[in-house]
């Protein structure tokens, strides 16, 4: 078997840093040695990919790849039926933060006091109907003697005495089935449904990652490990 003359990185002779055609002056090139051409240290120097992966190395690499795929899936968007038809929502970290703020805003709106008859209301005031739905006063005035017929469609204005109200909403970026993205008004219940849906989507990704990681840990060959992928 051919002999290869090498220089190691240090006296431990664990890694090769240079290869020569013949022995060199040790005062200039310390830590020299001679290896067979099939020696793993020489092959590692030529091309790290020539060294077969151990099972542990394959498992570590696959777990890292699965974790990266899981993270990408979490921020890759999700679907929700909150608006009655399937819409796609963004889920990057800033999107998740914005959605959390919108959900919190809706919770606070639903926690507003109930509507009362013959009461002066300023524009911007939020009151809750007898069914727990929040409405926003869009024109100041005094409410009527009886509750109005509260609208259920965003943007619809209802007269109440001399005051006017419309359904409380918060806009959020989403796309319809045709891929058309728009700021779309969501009622309190709708935005909270979106919040529950993104949580479910994230948990599903995490559960899938845990399941695949368990398969990687149970695999007994490098080939079996590498066959376990996210898709």
Give per-residue pLDDT as tens, 117-151: 999 999 999 999 999 999 999 999 999 999 999 99
Mean pLDDT for all residues in the chain:
95
Residue 216 belongs to some domain of the structure: no
The span from the CA of 168 to the CA of 163, in Å, is 15
Tell me if 42 sits within 8 A of 17, measured CB to CB. Answer: no
Rounded CA gap, 81 and 73, in Å?
19
Read off the pLDDT of residues 161-219 as tens digits, 9 standing for 90 and up: 999 999 999 999 999 999 999 999 999 999 999 999 999 999 999 999 999 999 999 99
Distances (CA, A) of 94 to 79, 107, 215, 227: 17, 20, 32, 34
Same domain, 82 and 152: yes
Domain assignment present for 198: yes
What pTM was estimated for this model as a whole? 0.78
By residue range, what is the domain housing residue 140?
Answer: 73-209
- Measure Cα distances from 137 to 64, 134, 141, 208, 231 in Å: 52, 10, 9, 46, 50
Neighbours of 32 (CB within 10 A): 16
* Same domain for 125 and 28: no
Same domain assignment for residues 121 and 28: no
> What does DSSP say about strands 134-139 and 169-175: parallel, antiparallel, or unpaired?
unpaired
Owner of token pair 């899938």: 208
Residue 151 lies in a domain: yes
Residue 226 lies in a domain: no
Q: How far is CA 227 from CA 47, 63, 190, 208, in A?
A: 24, 12, 41, 16
Look at the block and give the residue holding tokens 């679907």.
79
Per the structure, how many domains does the chain have? 2
- Answer yes or no: do 6 and 81 share one domain: no
Domain-embedded: residue 133: yes
pLDDT of residue 57: 86
Please indicate, yes or no, whether residues 173 and 103 belong to a single structural domain of this protein: yes
Q: Please give the structure tokens belonging to residue 86.
A: 């399937």
Residue 67, in any domain of the structure = no
Over residues 154-160, mean pLDDT: 96
Half-sphere exposure of 60 (CA within 13 A, CB side): 5
pLDDT band at 104 (very low <50, low <70, confident <90, very high): very high
Q: Are residues 32 and 129 in the same domain?
A: no
Question: Taking a C-beta distance cutoff of 8 angstroms, is the pair 140, 121 a contact?
Answer: yes
Query: Quick one: angle between helices 93-110 and 188-218, nearest 10?
Result: 140
**Do the domain assignments include residue 149?**
yes
- Mark whether 19 and 124 lie in a shared domain: no
């Amino acid at each position: 078997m051919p002999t290869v003359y090498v220089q190691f990185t240090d006296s431990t002779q664990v890694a090769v840093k240079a290869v020569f055609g013949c022995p060199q002056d040790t005062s200039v090139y310390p830590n020299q040695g001679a290896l067979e051409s099939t020696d793993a240290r020489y092959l590692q120097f030529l091309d790290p990919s020539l060294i077969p992966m151990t099972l542990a190395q394959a498992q570590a690499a696959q777990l890292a790849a699965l974790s990266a795929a899981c993270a990408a899936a979490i921020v890759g968007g999700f679907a929700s039926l909150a608006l009655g038809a399937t819409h796609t929502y963004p889920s990057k970290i800033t999107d998740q933060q914005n959605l959390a703020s919108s959900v919190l805003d809706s919770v606070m709106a639903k926690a507003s006091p109930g509507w009362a008859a013959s009461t002066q209301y300023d524009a911007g005031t939020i009151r809750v109907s007898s069914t727990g739905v929040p409405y926003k006063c869009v024109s100041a005035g005094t409410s009527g003697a009886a509750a109005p017929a509260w609208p259920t469609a965003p943007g619809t204005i209802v007269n109440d005495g001399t005051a006017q109200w419309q359904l409380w909403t918060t806009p959020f970026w989403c796309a319809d089935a045709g891929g058309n993205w728009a700021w779309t008004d969501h009622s309190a219940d709708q935005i909270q449904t979106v919040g529950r849906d993104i949580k479910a989507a994230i948990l599903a990704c995490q559960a899938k990652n845990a399941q695949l990681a368990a398969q990687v840990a149970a695999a007994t060959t490098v080939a079996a490990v590498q066959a376990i992928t996210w898709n």
